[in-house]
Amino acid sequence: MKGVIVAAGYGTRFLPVTKTIPKEMLPLIDRPAIDFIMDEFAAAGVREVLIISSRRKKSLEDYFDREVELESVFTKEKATDKLAKIKPPDMKVFFTRQKQMRGTGDALLCARPFCGDQPFIVAYPDDLHFGEVPLARQLVSVYEKTGCSVMSALHDPPNLERYGVLALAPDGLHITDIVEKPAPGTEPSREASIGRFLFTPDIFDYLEAGWQRHLTGANPESEYFHVYALKKLMDAGKVVYHPIEGERLDTGAPAGYLRALLRYAAKEPDLAAEIRRAAAKLG
């Protein structure tokens, strides 16, 4: 099982900081958001990860490389705790660049040479997961039982109309359609798709076919998304859903990022105490 992280976007909702710092490097206290995805992948047995980035995100590549100068300093100081913090993950990390911001469908096609004929987990770094069983591991377990592509879902979240909402087959497992941002009252279910997927490699043929249709369509310069390929897999009865177990934190916009920051800090006893003291001072 391989892992793919889609991290090429501009992150415009966090300007001006994302003018120079990738959104994926914005920290929850002392760890960048992308670190949590890597931990989740590692806990699911993933040992090879492709990060799809762009020209402006060289710091992502630097982050997953060794920092020789700091290693030398910490080694001389015998600061083993600091050495552990800067050690790269025990995984093979590859990078490719999406040359133009042409949407998630185009980004996923960049992963085809890396994935080959293997199933792979796709993560959007906006969605972080905390729970006893890592979300990637949950998806792998469903795949092992069904052999199908797996979409993770959040049950009945607030503002359901902001999500892609899943239409479920009578068996309550397979997905027959996905409706993007349905008007209130028209939702096909209460299951909202979030940014974690497990895809079988046959999605690539559908992505390629959809890309060719896109190029000959009315607006070939617009972004190309992977919904066409997903729906083709659904038509073939090859997509199931999994309601996530655990907590999902959405860091995709400043307000959600702040909530995620506070929620993560609350998990750490010392930081939780600081939050309570600060809240008391603010009244």
Residue ranges and CATH numbers for the domains of the chain are: 2-249 (3.90.550.10), 253-283 (no CATH)
Residue 271 has pLDDT above 90, yes or no: no
Residue 11 has pLDDT above 70, yes or no: yes
The burial of 150, by beta-carbon neighbours within 10 Å (0-12 exposed, 13-18 middle, 19 or more buried), is given as buried
Tens digits of per-residue pLDDT, 139-156? 999 999 999 999 999 999
Interatomic CA distance for residues 226 and 105, integer angstroms: 4
Residue 283 has pLDDT above 70, yes or no: no
Q: What is the mean pLDDT of the chain?
A: 91
Average pLDDT of the segment spanning 253-259? 90
Interatomic CA distance for residues 104 and 226, integer angstroms: 6
Q: Return the pLDDT at 220.
A: 85
| pTM (2 d.p.) | 0.90
CB neighbours of 150 closer than 8 A, spacing ≥ 6? Answer: 139, 142, 143, 197, 198, 239, 240, 241, 242
Average pLDDT of the segment spanning 58-84? 92
Longest CA span, the chain: 64
Average pLDDT of the segment spanning 10-38? 92
More confident residue, 55 or 236: 236
Q: Return the pLDDT at 279.
A: 67
Q: Return the pLDDT at 217.
A: 84
